[in-house]
Amino acid sequence: MKFQPDHNGYYGQFGGAFIPELLYPNVKELEDNYIQIIESETFQKEYKDLLKHYVGRPSPLYLAKRLSEKYGATIYLKREDLNHTGAHKVNNTIGQILIAKQLGKTKIIAETGAGQHGVATATVCALMGLECIVFMGETDIKRQAPNVARMKMLGAKVIAATSGSKTLKDATNEAIRYWIQHPDTYYLIGSVVGPHPYPDMVARLQAVISEEMKWQLKEHTGKENPDTVIACVGGGSNAAGAFYHYLDDEDVELIAVEAAGLGVHSGESAATSQLGEVGVIHGSKTILMQDEYGQIVEPYSISAGLDYPGVGPLHAFLFDEKRATFMNATDKEALEAAYELTKIEGIIPALETAHALAVLPKMDLKKDQTIIINLSGRGDKDLETYIKHLS
Ligand SMILES: *Cc1c(COP(=O)(O)O)cnc(C)c1O
Q: What pLDDT, on the 0 to 100 scale, is given for residue 304? A: 87
The reply to whether 89 belongs to the active site is yes
Task: Give the integer Cα–Cα distance in Å for 344 and 67.
Answer: 7
Ligand 1 binding residues, C-beta < 6 A: 87, 89, 114, 116-117, 191, 232-239, 305-306, 350, 352-353, 376-377
Task: Give the integer Cα–Cα distance in Å for 51 and 208.
Answer: 10
Give me the CATH code for the 10-50+89-202 domain, please.
3.40.50.1100
Query: Which is the catalytic residue, given 31, 68, 101, 111?
Result: 111
Boundaries of every domain in the chain = 10-50+89-202, 56-87+207-390
Q: What pLDDT, on the 0 to 100 scale, is given for residue 391? A: 63
Specify the residue with its C-alpha closest to ligand 1, atom 7.
237
* CB neighbour class for 37 (10 Å; exposed up to 12, middle 13-18, buried from 19): buried
pLDDT along the chain (391 residues), means of 10: 95 97 94 98 98 98 98 98 97 98 97 94 98 96 91 98 90 94 95 98 98 98 97 98 98 98 96 96 96 92 92 98 98 98 98 98 96 97 90 63
The reply to whether 165 belongs to the active site is no
CATH domain 56-87+207-390 topology: Rossmann fold (3.40.50)
Instruction: Decide whether 10-50+89-202 matches 56-87+207-390 in CATH topology.
Output: yes
CB atoms closer than 10 angstroms to residue 125: 25
- For a mutational test of ligand 1's pocket, the pick from 92, 123, 376, i.e. the residue with the most ligand atoms closer than 8 A to its C-beta, is 376
DSSP result, 96-142: HHHHHHHTT--EEEEEESSSHHHHHHHHHHHHHT-EEEEEEEHHHHH
